[in-house]
Chain A
């Protein structure tokens, strides 16, 4: 009798808890699942996005076009995106971790420095692009200084290779603030006793970092790598503000192709196919990184 009552109470409790998730589930479904579902559907259609003109089912045609790339504009965009994601993630995390180690102790200066480091991330990415264009453009501040000093100007934005290097640099500057905060949080979780014990055992700074701090940071590193790669895969606003994809197509990213080329030309079906592929690639990359990092995280648990 008592057990029955307990069971019933458990059921009611479970039902109530389930009911409480409904609002969030409804919002999530309405704002994420449904649009993604539509995007997948549209990716199999030829559609210009105008509601009064019905989509035409074309099967895999959009995906075939992406793979065959008849005008050679998607492969360069994929390459640019790959460069930004890989090099950018490496630099973002390197810079963020290095600065986090320098700023880990809470002092008035470090608190101020953390705020300064995080500030670029507060700015709109579009503004960041325009800002750096004003600094690094052919007639920007840096080239004016170089010319006033009797030096020749530097093609930060006018040479295709340099434009890509500049773009990566600006993206790193704009994005490392968030990773810095994550690393600072991760460093708080590293046991001071373990670090102290390692020092007493004769380990120097780099050895303490390699054998104690780094393994203990493993879960944080996984999160920062995944989040930075995901955000770098969909870089668009900075490109728009800094180079608008130029010169030529030197800095056109995959997201730029989706938003500024396909959508702008009312090729919603093709844009959705490109977006679906981007989501798939991002998913594969994320799960691969998580799988690869699992062993490191197990090591971290051992250290912890």
Chain B
């Protein structure tokens, strides 16, 4: 009887422990690709309509053939690479190479210092994205952020002969579009896009008024509210005039891009990556691009907001540092790899053949004409980083209040209050 009991108990224990053992087995593999000694490199990348898994595989194939290193492409496990990387770090399964994000205050200590690598200092914008001379992220080029795509046919029909260069001219252009029954004279989109777009249209004037404004905010000589209230007032005026409606901030960027391509939108603020989308689905009207306006015509053209295209970081804890750095070196310095990435998502780079994409060509002209490149506020790396995390999500949340009738001064005050609370940690 008791023997039967003991046998049953033993069986129950074994059966009960099976899932635990299985879980333990699942979690036993090391994070780095080389942990198992297979010489591979895991790379966490952004997956989008332009940047597909297949294109990434194709991009790294020459490197794999040349080096014998197997590159394992992984998409984000969460909503984005920015969300996934810290989670993977916490889980002990961090990838060897991380693409599409730049180091933040929390992740910077986990990223390999690339300063000692000679090739790293020669990559585009390495200085602008370095922190106290330390390079821990490298990229393949520059993506212009401050761009206003416009429907040239609608402009012509509304009697607008030249793209606007000052805020007054832009207001006049939007009024003319509205008077000509254009459904959406200027379009914004929901989620992350609202914040990015409002920042984009303000980059030039903001950096004319306060060069290095992030540092002014950080040292207390300015506030985020002071920095952004003027653009909030511009946007509030447009909302009041009906040039953009609350529906905009409930419409995702993909749909809003389709609306532009369908000819329903006069002006669409968006980064250079939109030129790739336009090239993939060319509209049946003429598209133009102009730089966001400045207050005074004497300041035209203003500085261009610019971000690092295809940023790459190497995890400090990688078991295969040589393989990981070799991969990043290949991706950021090999001509064929750079050209392949430019096809995936257009960017500009000195020495890079001009893109056959006509829209990217227009963007390139504007970038070349800009007196300087400036780091947007949502970038978390380098000497121009705001000392807070989550700037764009909070900025987006607050700025969407303008479409709900909140006064610009209140939105600006809330932005300042958020910064003051967050910088304390």
Contact A155 B247 (CB under 8 A): yes
Contact of B110 among A52, A71, A248, A252 (CB under 8 A): A52
**Residue A123 is within 8 A (CB to CB) of chain B in the complex:** no
Contact of A51 among B8, B90, B425 (CB under 8 A): B90
**Residue A50 is within 8 A (CB to CB) of chain B in the complex:** yes
Contact B404 A247 (CB under 8 A): yes
User: B95 to nearest A CB, angstroms?
Assistant: 14
Contact B401 A248 (CB under 8 A): yes
Known A16-B5, A246-B397; contact A139-B17, beta-carbon cutoff 8 A: no
When distances are taken between beta carbons in the complex, the residues of chain A under 8 Å from B283 are none
Known A16-B8, A246-B400; contact A23-B106, beta-carbon cutoff 8 A: no
Contact A244 B190 (CB under 8 A): yes
Q: Report Cα–Cα, A48/B103, bound state, in Å.
A: 14
Contact A71 B414 (CB under 8 A): yes
Contact B250 A247 (CB under 8 A): yes
Contact of A70 among B92, B251, B401, B417 (CB under 8 A): B417
Contact of A49 among B86, B109, B251, B259 (CB under 8 A): B86
Contact A153 B247 (CB under 8 A): yes
**How would you classify the secondary structure of chain B's contact residues: helix, strand, loop or mixed?**
helix
Q: Which residue of A lies closest to B388 (CB)?
A: A265
Contact of A249 among B6, B245, B249, B397 (CB under 8 A): B397
A49-101 residues with Cβ-Cβ distance < 8 A to B are 49-53, 70-72
Bitwise interface map of B from 68 to 106 toward A, beta carbon under 8 Å scored 1, else 0: 000000000001001100110110100000000000101
Contact B251 A50 (CB under 8 A): no
Known A22-B16, A139-B255, A247-B400; contact A53-B9, beta-carbon cutoff 8 A: no
When distances are taken between beta carbons in the complex, the residues of chain B under 8 Å from A249 are 397
When distances are taken between beta carbons in the complex, the residues of chain B under 8 Å from A153 are 247
When distances are taken between beta carbons in the complex, the residues of chain B under 8 Å from A248 are 397-398, 400-401, 404, 406
A38-55 residues with Cβ-Cβ distance < 8 A to B are 46, 48-53
**Residue B389 is within 8 A (CB to CB) of chain A in the complex:** yes
When distances are taken between beta carbons in the complex, the residues of chain B under 8 Å from A19 are 9, 12-13
**Residue B243 is within 8 A (CB to CB) of chain A in the complex:** no
B372-407 residues with Cβ-Cβ distance < 8 A to A are 389-390, 393, 397-398, 400-401, 403-404, 406
Q: Report Cα–Cα, A247/B245, bound state, in Å.
A: 12
Q: Which residue of A lies closest to B402 (CB)?
A: A248
Contact A155 B106 (CB under 8 A): no
Contact of A137 among B109, B251, B259 (CB under 8 A): B251
User: B392 to nearest A CB, angstroms?
Assistant: 11
Q: Report Cα–Cα, A50/B87, bound state, in Å.
A: 8
**Residue A194 is within 8 A (CB to CB) of chain B in the complex:** no
Contact of A53 among B87, B109, B422 (CB under 8 A): B109
Contact B393 A264 (CB under 8 A): yes
**Residue B19 is within 8 A (CB to CB) of chain A in the complex:** yes
**How would you classify the secondary structure of chain A's contact residues: helix, strand, loop or mixed?**
loop
**Residue A159 is within 8 A (CB to CB) of chain B in the complex:** yes
**Residue B52 is within 8 A (CB to CB) of chain A in the complex:** no
Q: Which residue of A lies closest to B109 (CB)?
A: A53
Q: Which residue of A lies closest to B419 (CB)?
A: A71
Binds B, one of A24-32, A102-110, A211-219, A274-282: A24-32
Q: Which residue of A lies closest to B6 (CB)?
A: A16
B96-140 residues with Cβ-Cβ distance < 8 A to A are 104, 106-107, 109-110
Q: Report Cα–Cα, A243/B246, bound state, in Å.
A: 13
**Residue A158 is within 8 A (CB to CB) of chain B in the complex:** yes
Known A139-B255, A246-B190, A247-B403; contact A158-B246, beta-carbon cutoff 8 A: yes
**Residue B15 is within 8 A (CB to CB) of chain A in the complex:** yes
Q: Report Cα–Cα, A159/B20, bound state, in Å.
A: 48
User: A48 to nearest B CB, angstroms?
Assistant: 4
**Residue A20 is within 8 A (CB to CB) of chain B in the complex:** yes
Contact A138 B397 (CB under 8 A): no
Q: Which residue of A lies closest to B17 (CB)?
A: A23
**Residue B54 is within 8 A (CB to CB) of chain A in the complex:** no
When distances are taken between beta carbons in the complex, the residues of chain A under 8 Å from B6 are 16
Contact A20 B389 (CB under 8 A): no
**Residue B1 is within 8 A (CB to CB) of chain A in the complex:** yes
B210-263 residues with Cβ-Cβ distance < 8 A to A are 245-247, 249-251, 255, 259
Contact of B1 among A9, A53, A245 (CB under 8 A): A9
Q: Which residue of A lies closest to B20 (CB)?
A: A27
Q: Report Cα–Cα, A132/B196, bound state, in Å.
A: 26
A3-39 residues with Cβ-Cβ distance < 8 A to B are 9, 12-13, 16, 19-20, 22-24, 26-27, 30
Contact B17 A138 (CB under 8 A): no
Known A138-B247, A158-B247; contact A50-B19, beta-carbon cutoff 8 A: no
**Residue A157 is within 8 A (CB to CB) of chain B in the complex:** yes
User: A237 to nearest B CB, angstroms?
Assistant: 12
Bitwise interface map of B from 259 to 281 toward A, beta carbon under 8 Å scored 1, else 0: 10000000000000000000000
Contact A30 B20 (CB under 8 A): yes
Known A246-B249, A246-B250, A247-B404; contact A13-B106, beta-carbon cutoff 8 A: no
Q: Knowing that A9-B1, A267-B389 are A-B contacts, what are 5 other residue pairs whose CB atoms are under 8 Å apart, sorted by A's residue number?
A: A22-B16, A24-B16, A52-B317, A243-B250, A247-B246
10 residue pairs of the A-B complex, CB under 8 angstroms, read A23-B15, A27-B16, A52-B89, A137-B251, A246-B191, A247-B250, A248-B400, A248-B401, A249-B397, A250-B404
Nearest 10 Cβ contacts at the A-B interface: A23-B16, A138-B247, A158-B250, A265-B390, A16-B5, A19-B9, A70-B421, A48-B106, A158-B246, A265-B389
